[in-house]
Amino acid sequence: MYRTHHCNELRKSHAGETVTLSGWVNTVRDQGGVIFIDIRDREGVTQCVFRAEENAEAAKLSHSLRSEDVIQVAGRVDHRPEIDGQSTINEKIETGEVEIVVTDLTILNKAEVLPFQLDKELSNEDLRMKHRYLDLRRPRMTRNLRTRHAITKALRDGLDENGFAEIETPILSKSTPEGARDFLVPSRLNPGKFYALPQAPQQYKQLLMVAGIEKYFQIARCFRDEDLRADRQPEFTQVDIEASFISTEDIFALIEGLLTKVFAESRGVEIKTPFDRLDYWDAMDRYGNDKPERRFGCEIVDLSEHFKDSGFGVFKRAIEGGGVVRAINAKGFAGVSTGQIKRLEEVAKEAGAGGLAYIQVRGKAHDTWRSPIVKFFSEEELAAIEKDLNIEEGDLILFGCDSRRTVCDVLGRLRLECCEMNNWLEGKEGELDFLWVVDFPLLDYDDDEGKWNAVHHPFTRPKACDEALLEDESKWGEIRAEAYDVVLNGNELGGGSLRIHERDLQAQMFRVLGVDDEEQAENFGHILGAFQYGAPPHGGIALGLDRLVMLACKEESIREVIAFPKNNKGIDLMSASPAEVDFKQLREIYVKSTVQEKKD
């Protein structure tokens, strides 16, 4: 038997018992005559004491112990003694009132010196990933992985309690031209043909609804061959949910219940339900973003009314051209540095602005306002923006003037940049602001491609009241979808929609998206066919599990909550994948590389 207890189990009440522990050498404190070893397992640490008078052989062996050796100790649980009237209790650890007086020490496996110290901060991501199995030994990482387990368990239990059945769908599936780039898998048995790894089990879960499953879920691995980010990996996990005969309200209630359970069981916190709801354009107009971070203010204010006939030509012309003039008030940021203004200008331009107009409010009087543009404003205009933006001494006002969409984007990004520059979220890390963003547009015109795209996906149902607008292309941009996102602290946790379940409506939707009849038959024939045979009304949602766990663990990257993640370039540095394969393997699957060797 390797152990009778784990390393965070023994307390005063165990004193006198003979126990056995197994684990890693966390620290060695060799005093010469007496040696202290902290033994660590995944639960915690326990101090072991070696003395020559207890067991000369074990004490001698203990001198040879090094960090991360794997050992087994047996001995007697003892109270921490008082030495010269001083307590030796360590209040910093949960087992600090006891220690094990070791009588037997077995070295199960020696460890080489590690490439990095487990108890120190490590900034070298490269090194962490190369030795991920060591990185994961650090308590924070172990805790993250176990929190991930607690969350998936809470979700499974919650969905099970609501009558949902977990069903696996194929990993080898069919490539669809819409959406993200697919990972492809050549088929050996079908030369020249390829499977695609699923970006999401969307069509399969809808077909399960046609199959009469009614309530489906899956903790589903999904794949997208796009560039990576701190919150994006090429393979990631979605909690995929679909149900028949269900309304949006039913889905909201289900998800609010699940997230309540998740945060109660993973972090022990109670979250407020029901979540607030914001419609898409409300979110865009106020926060410039469809996943608003609402833990700080600085909302966007529309000033178009005041500048219709302005002497400031830039604003006037923007409004005449159908655009808007809006601004945010970055409270207390009048002391913005030249470098920061330059940075804010870059952010604005990146979002499509021509430039950045601003006012540094140095004092109460309008003539103390420092700004490249304020000289063009009339006294009435100054008074009006002072009132609408609630301008006070010390504020920084940032303007945007352009089309509504561009201004939303520009000011939305500036708002977040100001937040970062000023640490407005300091002290609010623990706040959990959930909300639903609803009434997304159904379609979005892509200028580059010259065609309409689905904002969510092509299976999303238009709102019943807007369905008739599908007949009139000039109105396509106004059609709202039965689609919704759940947002937490400015992060999109998940999104879903009610789906189209009628064959004709689905075919019409494809035509709107520029998918002709032939292409429909080839790529979507199975789902259009299925809809002819009694498809029930249905809808669902998918939650990004990695992001959810990341936020629950208060981490900044999903890499911290994935056991073996990939780096910026999609490489697993530990196993060195992807890797080249030999010619024979490629020949078997009828694949030939076109990569050119780099010439020096």
Partner RNA sequence: GGAGCGGUAGCUCAGUUGGUUAGAGCGCCGGCCUGUCACGCCGGAGGUCGCGGGUUCAAGUCCCGUCCGCUCCGCCA
Helix (H, G, I), strand (E, B) or coil at 9: coil
Amino acid at 589: I
Instruction: Select from 36, 183, 194, 296 the one that contacts RNA (CB under 7 A).
Output: 36
Strands 443-446 and 434-438, by their bridges, are: unpaired
Residue 219: CB minimum distance to RNA, A: 17
Q: Pick from 232, 277, 295, 503 the residue near RNA by CB under 7 A.
A: 232
Strands 165-166 and 215-223, by their bridges, are parallel
**List 93, 136, 150, 505, residue binding RNA (CB under 7 A):** 93
- Which is it for strands 301-302 and 276-279: parallel, antiparallel or unpaired? unpaired
**394 lines the binding site for RNA (CB under 7 A):** no
Does residue 277 bind RNA (CB under 7 A)?
Answer: no
Residues in 161-200 that interact with RNA by CB under 7 A: 176, 178-181, 199-200
Q: Which is nearer to RNA, 80 or 153 (CB)?
A: 80
Instruction: Among 144, 152, 202, 489, indicate the residue that binds RNA (CB under 7 A).
Output: 202
| Tokens 């031209």, located at residue | 177
Question: Which region, left, alpha or beta, applies to residue 11 given φ > 0 means left and ψ of -120 to 50 means alpha?
Answer: beta
Asked whether position 557 contacts RNA by CB under 7 A, the answer is yes
Choice from 29, 140, 193, 526 touching RNA (CB under 7 A):
29
Contact predicate 243/251, CB 8 Å: yes
Nearer to RNA, 261 or 291 (CB): 291
Establish if 227 lies at the interface with RNA (CB under 7 A): yes
Q: Segment contacting RNA (CB under 7 A): 82-90, 160-168, 378-386, 499-507? A: 82-90
Its sign, for the CA torsion 329, 330, 332, 337, is: negative
- How many binding residues for RNA (CB under 7 A)? 70
What tokens appear for 29 in the block? 């404190």
CB of 307 to RNA, least distance (A): 27
3-state secondary structure of 542: strand
Distance CA 378, CA 374 (A): 9
Contact by Cβ (8 Å): 50, 105: yes
CA-nearest of 50, 35, 37, 47 to 102 is: 50
Task: Name the amino acid, one letter, at 48.
Answer: C
User: Any idea what the Cα angle at residue 353 is, between residues 348 and 354, rounded to 5°?
Assistant: 120
Would you count residue 528 as binding RNA (CB under 7 A)? no
Which of 2, 13, 15, 81 lies at the binding interface for RNA (CB under 7 A)?
81
* Residue 301 or 347 having the CB closest to RNA: 347
- Using the contact rule CB under 7 A, the part of the chain among 6-14, 153-161, 320-328, 563-571 near RNA is 563-571
Return the number of the residue (500 or 573) whose C-beta is nearest RNA.
Answer: 573
For the bound state, the minimum distance from the C-beta of residue 224 to RNA, rounded and expressed in Å, comes to: 4
Contact set for RNA, span 407-466 (CB under 7 A):
453-458
In terms of CB distance, is 203 or 422 closer to RNA?
Answer: 203
Please, what is the minimum distance in Å from the beta carbon of residue 41 to RNA? Answer: 17
> Whose CA is closest to 445, among 512, 538, 395?
512
The distance in angstroms from the start CA to the end CA of the chain is 60
Residue 34 or residue 271: which is nearer to RNA going by CB?
Answer: 34
Q: Whose Cβ is closer to RNA: residue 261's or residue 461's?
A: 461
To RNA, the closest distance from the beta carbon of 398 in angstroms equals 18
Q: Judged by CB, which is closer to RNA: 350, or 519?
A: 350
Which DSSP string corresponds to 562-589? Answer: SSS---TTS-BTTTTBS----HHHHHHT
Q: Please, which residues have CB within 8 angstroms of residue 490's CB and are 6 or more apart in sequence?
A: 289, 291, 292, 293, 294, 295, 416
Q: For RNA, which residue of 31, 190, 247, 390 counts as binding (CB under 7 A)?
A: 31
Choose between 248 and 567: whose C-beta lies nearer to RNA. Answer: 567
385 vs 541, beta carbon nearer RNA? 541
Q: Considering the rule CB under 7 A, would residue 345 count as an interface residue with RNA?
A: no
Residues 474-513: x where in contact with RNA by CB under 7 A, - otherwise, as a string: ----------------------------------------
Shortest distance, CB of residue 461 to RNA, whole angstroms?
14
* Minimum separation from the CB atom of position 404 to RNA (A): 17
In single-letter form, the type of residue at position 492 comes to E
Please count the other Cβ atoms lying within 10 Å of the Cβ belonging to residue 165.
13
Contacts (Cβ under 8 Å, ≥6 apart) of 275: 252, 256, 434, 435, 436, 486
Residues 6 or more apart in contact with residue 582 via CB below 8 angstroms: none
**Measured at the alpha carbon of residue 228, what is the angle toward residues 224 and 230, in degrees to the nearest 5?**
125
Whose Cβ is closer to RNA: residue 66's or residue 375's?
66
Please list every residue from 110 through 139 that binds RNA, using CB under 7 A. Answer: 113, 115-117, 120-127, 129
SS3 433: coil
Nearest-CA neighbor of 543 among 591, 504, 488, 468? 488
By C-beta, is 74 or 262 nearer to RNA?
Answer: 74
Sequence-separated (6 or more) residues with CB below 8 Å from residue 31: none
Answer yes or no: are the C-beta atoms of 127 and 103 closer than 8 Å. Answer: no
Q: Does 231 bind RNA (CB under 7 A)?
A: yes
Cα angle 530, 531, 536 (rounded to 5 degrees) comes to 115
Residue number with CB closer to RNA (154 or 418):
418
For RNA, the closer CB: 141 or 391:
141
568 binds RNA (CB under 7 A): yes
In the complex, least distance from residue 66 CB atom to RNA, rounded to whole angstroms: 5
Question: Closest CB to RNA among 158 and 201?
Answer: 201
Q: How far apart are CA 317 and CA 598, in angstroms?
A: 53
Q: How far is the CB of 471 from RNA (least distance, A)?
A: 22
DSSP state of 475: G
Q: Contact positions toward RNA, by CB under 7 A?
A: 27, 29-34, 36, 38, 47, 49, 51-53, 66-67, 80-81, 83, 86, 88-90, 92-93, 96, 99, 113, 115-117, 120-127, 129, 176, 178-181, 199-200, 202, 224, 226-232, 350, 453-458, 557, 559, 567-569, 571, 573
